[in-house]
Chains A and B, each alone.
Chain A
Amino acid sequence: MSKMHVKMTVNGKPQEALAEPRTLLIHFLREELNLTGPHIGCDTGHCGACTVDLNGKSVKSCTMFVAQANGADVTTIEGIAAPDGTLHAIQDAFREHHGLQCGFCTPGMITRAYRLLQENPSPSEEEIRVGISGNLCRCTGYQNIVKSISAAAETMAASREAAE
């Protein structure tokens, strides 16, 4: 039951550490790398507060061993804004449209929305609801979260057009 050498790229930075294989990815991120943005909500794979981006896919980091993520490219909520602190369009939209109340689910919601809008840059309301169906919010009733993601999609499409 020895520790293993774990290497991964997290928010663009190479990271290395010794960890027990049984360490869950969420614990590795929060306790070893001090990235406390991804939250532990239900700890059973239901709520999505621990959602991170792993090799270009949304995953629940409470249901993955750090050993499985060895060598992976991981993005957490800390890696979504620009390095100078400028908020991502999705983060701006959540603020603008009151897409959060207590904020506990927000890192998972935004990290999931970040990937969803790459999978589908102009989702319908229904597609947004299906896309975030693995993320639970106990405050908002989802209405403003859906509005925020929808607004972010429009902003992002407009800036893509402006760039062309």
Chain B
Amino acid sequence: MIPGAFDYHRPASLGEAITLANELGDDARVLAGGHSLIPMMKLRMAVPEHLIDLADIDDLKGIDERDGTLQIGAMTSQAEIIGSGLLAERCPILRETAEQIADPQIRNVGTIGGNVANGDPGNDMPALMQALNASYALTGAGGTREVPARNFYEAAYFTALEPGEVLSAIHIPIPPAGHGYAYEKQKRKVGDYATAAAAVLLTMEGGVCTSASIALTNVGDTPLFAEAAGAALVGSAFDEGAVGAAVSAAEAIASPAEDGRGPVDFRTRVAGVMVRRAIGRAASRAR
């Protein structure tokens, strides 16, 4: 499979990339790791005339902590997320999720910025970012604006990203020390998108849930922040009544497509099972 022809640009700075993106307009796409875009180009479902490769832009790399917030550069690879000691200590669900994405070769090249910016409902990081209440820095000709992950996704492949803007960084408020977390994903095989997956973060005090945040992957046109499911847990000791209510609330907002991963009812129930398992594992990890 041969992609359509394009002109290749490799700017050395973010400013240069944004100038190019604005000059070239709709004919251009930015290229991060390319592991979503290149397969689409090989199928000729995407035929950009220009590619703006972000690989040489140092400002888009690196993982830092500042004032209780983690900043992850958009060009950070999934392998770098897995290898980061800082993330393992402050926000280990990032590693747990990244390890469930594709395979080692793809994680070496695929980036977190590409994963969240592309708007593919099958990608795992967007729901996690919603559960973490992360925000995205979108940099354009007029400067940088922050958009919360919970407001970013509009429909499959449609996001709040405007033409000429580049998603430059991800900002994650560091969850409280001792929080419980789990990302549960059911997939048919390595490299598959989720049949359904759930991200859960929670805090506990004296055996009682004091906060909970839940989001779902690949059971809708966008990642789904399951606000009511999280709320159902708060104040409970994770008794069956509360957990069952959270599962029901998550299933109520799931609207997966019927595809090779199963019919609608099945995938909806799998979403519920993933939520139940993730709650159990997160609660067992909370201190």
* Contacts from A to B (Cβ < 8 Å): 1-2, 4, 20-22, 24, 43-46, 48, 51, 57-60, 63-65, 67-68, 112, 116, 130-131, 133-135
Residue in A20, A57, A65, A134 whose beta carbon sits within 8 Å of that of B38 in the complex = A65
17 A–B pairs (Cβ distance < 8 Å), ordered by A? A4-B8, A21-B6, A22-B6, A44-B39, A45-B35, A45-B191, A48-B105, A59-B105, A60-B106, A63-B39, A64-B34, A64-B38, A67-B51, A116-B104, A130-B104, A133-B191, A134-B102
| B8 near A57: Cβ-Cβ < 8 Å | no
- Chain A residue contacts of B1, Cβ below 8 A: 43-44
| B2 near A22: Cβ-Cβ < 8 Å | yes
Interface residues of A, dominant DSSP: loop
- Chain B residue contacts of A2, Cβ below 8 A: 7
- B265 touches A (CB below 8 Å): no
| B108 near A20: Cβ-Cβ < 8 Å | no
In the assembled complex, the Cα of A63 lies from the Cα of B104 at a distance in Å of: 14
Beyond A65-B51, A134-B102, list 9 extra A-B contacts (CB 8 Å): A22-B2, A24-B2, A63-B39, A65-B38, A67-B51, A68-B34, A68-B55, A130-B104, A133-B104
| B190 near A133: Cβ-Cβ < 8 Å | yes
Knowing A21-B7, A57-B79 are in contact, say whether A67-B53 is a contact too (CB < 8 A).
Answer: yes
Residue in B5, B55, B108 whose beta carbon sits within 8 Å of that of A59 in the complex = B108
Q: State how many residues of chain B have any CB contact under 8 Å with chain A.
A: 29
Residue in A21, A45, A116, A131 whose beta carbon sits within 8 Å of that of B106 in the complex = A45
Residue in B8, B104, B108 whose beta carbon sits within 8 Å of that of A21 in the complex = B8
- Chain A residue contacts of B105, Cβ below 8 A: 48, 51, 58-60, 112, 134
- Chain A residue contacts of B4, Cβ below 8 A: 22
Residue in B6, B42, B55, B103 whose beta carbon sits within 8 Å of that of A134 in the complex = B103
CB distance from B191 to the nearest CB of A (A): 5
| B191 near A134: Cβ-Cβ < 8 Å | yes
Query: Which residues 1-35 of B have a CB within 8 angstroms of A?
Result: 1-8, 10, 31, 34-35
- Chain B residue contacts of A135, Cβ below 8 A: 103
CB distance from A149 to the nearest CB of B (A): 13
Knowing A4-B8, A22-B6, A134-B191 are in contact, say whether A64-B109 is a contact too (CB < 8 A).
Answer: yes
- Chain A residue contacts of B3, Cβ below 8 A: 22, 24
Chain A's closest residue to B7 (CB) is A1
Knowing A22-B2, A63-B38 are in contact, say whether A131-B8 is a contact too (CB < 8 A).
Answer: no
| A58 near B108: Cβ-Cβ < 8 Å | yes
